[in-house]
A and B are shown apart, each in its own frame.
Chain A
């Protein structure tokens, strides 16, 4: 099967007010397979969000190509299909809600792309069920918690039946409870609904749930691999201005003290395994 996202030699260039060239993305190559869960991490300004915005053609490549489900994102006739293939969820839940009633908000997308009336209702109901918000269908979104609003935003994307969802720091503005709700929802989308997930985050513990982690630095991919491969390189990750999950940090400290802990120990379970045999 061909990858759902295929990026080749992608650069995104813009000019600041003094007309200096800024390369927000610089020769990026990557592919995301159908059904994969990919996390993107990197410091502020490393190009994560710019990259993600290419995946549903909010931005177009200055150089290189970006193929979504085989469609070239720089061709205008493909926009419609690309945006139905890849949905986006942003950081601030308050900026993504357009209607005064939850179910109307979720219906906004399908209505916009001309889904027949009879089909809209089942889509909305199914989307709200997936994010566990069925009982709030008739509520006013502004009275919901941050985590609930963010789940409504996800439902709005789901109602378009996308193959892939890109989430740009969806938990940054949420409290711990809201964060857990979103993490559980996203896992479910990936594992049960087989939706491809691209998940941008500053929270390393959240990146652990991915199949693959891409680390960005100054518009380039600095490192990629499984969570085990990426987070066992503690020094490299710190040098990139990031941190590793706590179990990996503890494992590295113990290793540095000359104690035998396996290289790819990054989760609490793996650390327990290594210490308590």
Chain B
């Protein structure tokens, strides 16, 4: 079970003076069960690539397969496989439209043709995954919730589709640290329980380092680095710098301390690693 891009290219505003190739000959396989972070600065092609994963954009060249079905083909098979891919856009709370939270989350499952009984089951499960109590929230208006809660409702709407591949485009943008941590905790629990693939598009290197096992770095419409996230952040510093991508703060701080003569090993990714390495370097362990 995998999502596969085979030599995919896409150009915006073709045959106009504004023509711009957003992704170029991208080949990529993401297996179900993987947790992947996608980083790269604005305009590197991240969003364009993501929109190919569930058929929002049709490639100019190449093919996209979900579980070996060409998702841009015709017929119910192609439609079904597009439905395997759930996409949470940036600021998804702006896309909430229904009068009650139940109705909003139920929209996707209903569209899929599930029975009312199954729809309710999915909505219950999805709301519980994002930490919203069904009996308290189902009949409330989504528009009276806080920003963090609204975002949870929007994510629940995608989770209720029971996707095998979950794409999240900057799910923490604009959230305070506590809401951000709880959204990631919920995503992690979901990931552990369902073993779907999670594809996280982020500008936060800390999030990429902390949650994703695999890291894709995009630049100028191509995937320039694809590897284990710890390994990439620790050992490909020059390459990352070249494409204008930062490293997690723990690594930056380790660099500063090393420059000042503290003998800190390269084995740092998160804050707790750094604390441990400092203690080792100072002979405190």
Q: Which residues of A come within 8 Å of B, CB atoms? A: 16-17, 42-45, 91, 145-146, 169, 172-178, 202, 204-205, 241-243, 246-247, 249-250, 253-254, 257, 259, 268-269, 271-272, 275-276
Q: Does B256 belong to the interface (CB within 8 Å)?
A: yes
| B173 lies within 8 A of chain A by Cβ | yes
Known: A44-B148, A175-B203, A272-B260. A202 touches B271 (CB 8 A): no
Contact of B257 among A43, A243, A271 (CB under 8 A): A271
Residues of A contacting B244 in the complex (Cβ-Cβ under 8 angstroms): 176-177
Per the bound structure, the CA–CA distance linking A271 and B256 in Å amounts to 9
Which residue of B141, B203, B245, B274 contacts A250 across the interface (Cβ within 8 Å)?
B274
Q: How far is A259 from B281 in the complex, measured between Cα atoms in Å? A: 13
- Are B144 and A44 in contact (CB-based, < 8 A)? no
Query: A17-B144, A246-B253 known; A173 and B174 CB under 8 Å?
Result: yes
**B265 / chain A contacts, CB cutoff of 8 Å:** none
User: What would 11 more interface pairs be, CB under 8 Å, given A172-B173, A176-B245?
Assistant: A17-B141, A169-B174, A172-B174, A174-B42, A175-B203, A176-B41, A176-B205, A241-B178, A249-B271, A259-B282, A268-B252
B176 and A43 contact, CB distance less than 8 A: yes
The residues of B with any CB-CB pair to A shorter than 8 Å are 41-43, 141, 144, 146-148, 173-179, 203, 205, 244-246, 249-250, 252-253, 256-257, 260-262, 271-272, 274-275, 278-279, 282, 284
Report chain B residues within 8 Å CB of A146. 42
Of A176, A204, A247, chain B has the most CB atoms within 10 Å of the CB of: A176
Nearest chain B CB to A197's CB is how many angstroms away?
Answer: 20
Contacts A177-B244, A178-B42, A250-B271 given: A44-B175 contact, CB under 8 Å? yes
Contacts of A178 in B (CB 8 A): 42
A44-B176, A175-B203, A205-B249 in contact; A268/B256 too (CB < 8 A)? Answer: yes
Q: Smallest Cβ distance from A34 to chain B, in angstroms?
A: 30
* Contact call A243/B177, Cβ cutoff below 8 A: yes
Bound complex: CA of A42 vs CA of B42, how far in Å?
Answer: 27
Q: Which 8 A-B pairs have the closest CB atoms?
A: A241-B178, A43-B176, A276-B260, A272-B260, A243-B177, A253-B275, A246-B249, A175-B42
Chain B residues closer than 8 Å to A172, beta-carbon distance = 173-174
In the complex, the answer to whether B262 meets A43 with C-beta atoms within 8 Å is no
Instruction: Tell me, rounded to whole Å, the shortest Cβ–Cβ distance linking B176 to chain A.
Output: 4
Contacts of B260 in A (CB 8 A): 272, 275-276
- A254–B280 alpha-carbon span in the complex (Å): 12
Distance between Cα atoms of A145 and B41 in the complex (Å): 10
**B249 surroundings in chain A (CB, below 8 A):** 205, 246
Among B147, B256, B278, point to the contact of A254 (Cβ < 8 A): B278
A213 → B minimal CB distance (Å) = 15
Shortest beta-carbon distance, A95 to chain B, in Å? 12
**A242 touching B284, Cβ below 8 Å:** no
A276:B42 contact, CB within 8 angstroms: no
Is A246 in contact with B42, judged by CB distance below 8 angstroms? no
Q: How far is the CA of A272 from the CA of B134 in the complex (A)?
A: 49
Query: Is B179 a contact partner of A44 (Cβ separation < 8 A)?
Result: yes
Provided the pairs A45-B146, A254-B278, A275-B257 are in contact, do residues A241 and B262 lie with their beta carbons within 8 angstroms?
Answer: no
What's the Cα separation between A91 and B205 when bound, in Å?
21
**Contact A44 to B253, CB < 8 A, known contacts A146-B42, A202-B177, A241-B176:** no
Given A145-B42, A175-B41, A250:B176 Cβ within 8 A: no
- C-alpha gap A45/B145 in the complex (Å): 10
Q: Decide: A42 and B274 in contact? CB cutoff 8 A.
A: no
Within 8 Å by CB of B41, from A43, A177, A243, lies A177
Smallest beta-carbon distance A42→chain B, Å: 7
The answer to whether A16 touches B144, judged by C-beta atoms less than 8 angstroms apart, is yes
Distance in angstroms from A246 CB to nearest chain B CB is 5
Q: Which of A241, A250, A259 has the most CB of B within 10 A?
A: A250
Assembled-state Cα–Cα distance A91/B90 (Å): 14
Is A268's CB under 8 angstroms from B43's CB?
no
A210 to chain B, nearest CB (A): 17
Q: How far is the CB of A219 from chain B (nearest CB, A)?
A: 14
A residues near B278, Cβ cutoff 8 Å: 250, 254, 275
Given contacts A247-B253, A272-B256, A275-B282, whether A44 and B147 have CB atoms under 8 Å apart is yes
Contacts of A42 in B (CB 8 A): 176
Question: 22 A-B contacts, Cβ less than 8 Å apart?
Answer: A43-B178, A43-B179, A44-B148, A44-B174, A44-B175, A91-B174, A146-B42, A174-B42, A202-B176, A205-B249, A241-B176, A241-B179, A246-B249, A246-B253, A250-B271, A250-B278, A254-B275, A272-B256, A272-B257, A275-B282, A276-B257, A276-B260
Task: Report A-chain residues with C-beta under 8 Å of the C-beta of B275.
Answer: 250, 253-254
CB-nearest residue of chain A relative to B151? A44
